[in-house]
Amino acid sequence: MLQTIKKGINLFLALPVISHHIKAYQRFDERMGMQLSAGISFFSFLSLIPVLMISFAALGSFLISNPEYLDQIKDKIVTNIGDPNLANTLKNIIDTAINQRTSVGLTGLAIAFYSSIGWMTNLRKAIRFQTRESLVLCQETSPSLLKQYLGDFISLVGLVFATIATILISSFAISKQLWLVDFFGLQNSIFLQYILRFFTLSISLIANYAVFLWVFISLPDKRPKRKALFRGALLAAIGFEIIKYGMTKFLPLLSASPSAVVFGSVLTLMMFFYLFAILTLYSSAWIATSNNNESNDKEK
């Protein structure tokens, strides 16, 4: 009986799909995938600070143009905070921040530019560490610093445009589907609801696929083989959709605990970045091991 179970387990592990994932995880683990993912998530979180600065500057410009909203915010502060001294302090902070919105915005843009390129550089190095044949991280002849930053900037711009394009396409498709539902008066159709869910999921997967395809084409040292590239991008797209679905289910649970309400958003964001980094690097390892398998098969 025990021998039969062992034989069944060995047969299961010998399946091409399972053995490929085992090899991918071994490469991911041997090449510090978890540690690199933690570093990427940390730099991703730091990159949010200049984004918040830019957003705050934009909000300040909006409030200056619409002083009635600024007065409403100040009134809310006075109403919700019982201590008048603290309320006046917060109002003064808001006034000072709005008056300095230009310097805050320009500083945020400069930091965002620098940190975004740094984030792309770290992501590129981590992906190349997973995909290249040698375990040495930077053994190849390094290009000049200017050329390296220019390459990372081009990759970053391409990633931003790919992300924006997929978001616009997804939004357009979803808006058109809602328009069709309203036009034909099919809001109460249960069958149509399942079709719309499938349609929305498909659009989201296509958007994820396009973004990861750009990442795995532009960041590795050498472009992977086409078959492995397409399958690896599909693996990452499906995994990313699972992560997003899990986050939507996890966030409502945070409201049950007062401490989770305070720190939950930060922890959830860090978790999201960490899982995204793990998925990206694991998919890179999966593509790399697939390339090795294909090359070995051709040599045989």
- Digit-by-digit pLDDT tens for the chain (300 residues) are 778 888 888 888 888 889 999 999 999 999 999 999 999 998 888 877 777 677 777 777 777 777 777 777 767 766 666 567 766 776 776 777 677 778 877 887 788 778 888 888 889 899 999 998 766 544 555 566 777 777 777 777 777 777 677 667 666 666 666 666 676 666 666 777 777 778 878 888 888 898 899 899 988 888 888 999 999 999 999 999 899 888 877 777 766 666 666 666 777 888 888 999 999 999 999 999 985 544 444 434
Distance CA 51, CA 276 (A): 19
What pLDDT does residue 300 have?
Answer: 40
**Residue carrying the six token digits 């997003």:** 244
What pLDDT does residue 259 have?
Answer: 62
Q: Are 285 and 24 in contact (CB under 8 A)?
A: yes
Tokens of 137: 């991280």
Buried b (16+ CB within 10 A) or exposed e, 64-102: eeeeeebeeebeebeeeeeeeeebeebbeebeeebeebe
Tokens of 293: 């398998």
Enter the pTM of the model.
Answer: 0.75
Tokens of 128: 């190349």
What pLDDT does residue 186 have?
Answer: 64
Distance CA 268, CA 251 (A): 8
Distance CA 202, CA 194 (A): 12
